[in-house]
Amino acid sequence: MKDARLEQQIRFLLEIDQLKQVERRSYLADGSRRENSAEHSWHLAMMAVLLCEHLDDPGIDLLRVMKMLLIHDLVEIDAGDTYAYDPQGQEDKYDRELACANRLFRLLPEEQRDELMALWQEFEEGISPEAKYAAALDRLQPMLLNYAAQGRSWREHGIHSRQVLARQEAIAEVSQKLGDYSRGLIQDAVAKGYLKAQG
Amino acid sequence: MKDARLEQQIRFLLEIDQLKQVERRSYLADGSRRENSAEHSWHLAMMAVLLCEHLDDPGIDLLRVMKMLLIHDLVEIDAGDTYAYDPQGQEDKYDRELACANRLFRLLPEEQRDELMALWQEFEEGISPEAKYAAALDRLQPMLLNYAAQGRSWREHGIHSRQVLARQEAIAEVSQKLGDYSRGLIQDAVAKGYLKAQG
């Protein structure tokens, strides 16, 4: 006998398999290939578990952060990954992503659709401590990969340290320690020629 | 100023980036390429969130399940993915994986090392409700992908329905509903020629 809720959930779970085919700009740490958004989401959830002690205000709901990170990029399935340093792509990013969120989450039973939509919107609004922590990790992770891959993606796109420093502010906002660390990483990246100075 | 704990954590987070390069036997749902263990882990964590209502005994700690699923395959970084239907590979699997767990988790600060090692061992032992749910999802997910990809991986390895049914028992053990669903999927797969009957 078919269970309607389970059928909807399985349909959704197969649909989101496509996140594994959304290519990001960042390369893996060893520079061998570009990262995809599904493995990126896994990496962020691992970071959320291990780095939460460094938050200035550690009173967060880690489970909510993890759910948020697992779903935050699902909207790229239709909208594609919009490069952080592409001002034109950023313009209509929200509209494209909202259309995808509506399509995907509607596959689910009603209260799960509402939960995931609310989590995604919380992430996009970036106001709650959980959303801010998730956003900070989403900025820190590509920096770590870019640095490990000797700035390959930064160099390919002619990125300057000022652009990376501007994105880094979201990290310092939730954690002085992670903020200091990421600023140091950017300085190091400039010193090693992975990233252009100023700009 | 360098923070020793943070340096250890970042070192670990970059080391586990390699999970993105561990190739599994399953193909993506559209059959286009093999899945890797990092995106597989992401997919399982998503399943854990959405399917927990179907557990016969729903009193589980979802956060622990999710952590367990995110880390359960890290040991493949050194040990490789051992195919579920490879009896020879299964023989020394635990020893190879334990050596990797020791190497990887020792990169972390002591209490995080202990937490992750305990979670991995809990998963391996498969006794707690959380470990059983995690194991059930780890069996269900490749079935869903294999079915969606018209049995490509099953056919490549000459797998019979009896072998898949035997692995499916871990699903029925935690959830009658998921057990019924996966048995139905196997019957359908045989009917459609994705999977050999009996064997």
**Of B29, B38, B177, Cβ closest to residue A17:** B29
Query: pTM higher than 0.95 for the full model?
Result: yes
For residue A53, the chain B residues in CB contact (below 8 A) are 5
Is residue B69, in this structure, part of any structural domain at all?
Answer: yes
pLDDT per position as a tens digit, A123-164: 999 999 999 999 999 999 999 999 999 999 999 999 999 999
The CA-based angle A56-A61-A67, given to 5 degrees, is 120
Q: Which residue of B has its CA nearest to A16?
A: B43
Q: Determine whether the interchain pair B42/A39 forms a contact, defined as Cβ–Cβ distance below 8 Å.
A: yes
pLDDT per position as a tens digit, B26-37: 999 999 999 999
Q: Is B31 exposed, middle or buried (0-12, 13-18, 19+ CB in 10 A)?
A: middle
Q: Determine whether the interchain pair A20/B6 forms a contact, defined as Cβ–Cβ distance below 8 Å.
A: no
pLDDT per position as a tens digit, B173-188: 999 999 999 999 999 9
What is the rounded CA–CA span in Å between residue A106 and residue A179?
A: 38
For residue A148, the chain B residues in CB contact (below 8 A) are 14, 17
Q: What is the pLDDT of residue A83?
A: 85
pLDDT per position as a tens digit, A37-78: 999 999 999 999 999 999 999 899 999 999 999 999 999 999
Is residue B197, in this structure, part of any structural domain at all?
Answer: no
Is residue B196, in this structure, part of any structural domain at all?
Answer: no
Judged against a pLDDT cut of 70, whether residue B144 lies above it is answered with yes
Q: Determine whether the interchain pair A14/B144 forms a contact, defined as Cβ–Cβ distance below 8 Å.
A: yes
Is residue B116, in this structure, part of any structural domain at all?
Answer: yes
Q: Helix, strand or coil for residue B160?
A: strand
**Of A3, A13, A50, Cβ closest to residue B144:** A13
Amino acid at B39: E
Q: Which two tokens stand for residue B106?
A: 């020792």
Is residue A41, in this structure, part of any structural domain at all?
Answer: yes
Domain, as residue range, for B99: 4-191
**Of A1, A6, A67, Cβ closest to residue B49:** A67
List the one residue out of A111, A53, A14, A96 whose CA is nearest residue B47. A14
Q: What is the pLDDT of residue A58?
A: 86
Is residue A199, in this structure, part of any structural domain at all?
Answer: no
Q: What is the pLDDT of residue B198?
A: 75
Q: Helix, strand or coil for residue B194?
A: coil
Q: Which residue of B has its CA nearest to A9?
A: B50
For residue B108, the chain A residues in CB contact (below 8 A) are 50
List the one residue out of A182, A179, A148, A168 whose CA is nearest residue A85. A168
Number of structural domains in chain A:
1
- CATH number, domain containing residue B115: 1.10.3210.10
Q: What is the pLDDT of residue A89?
A: 81
Q: How confident is the model at residue A1 (pLDDT cuts 50, 70, 90)?
A: low
Is residue B148, in this structure, part of any structural domain at all?
Answer: yes
Q: What is the mean pLDDT of chain A?
A: 95
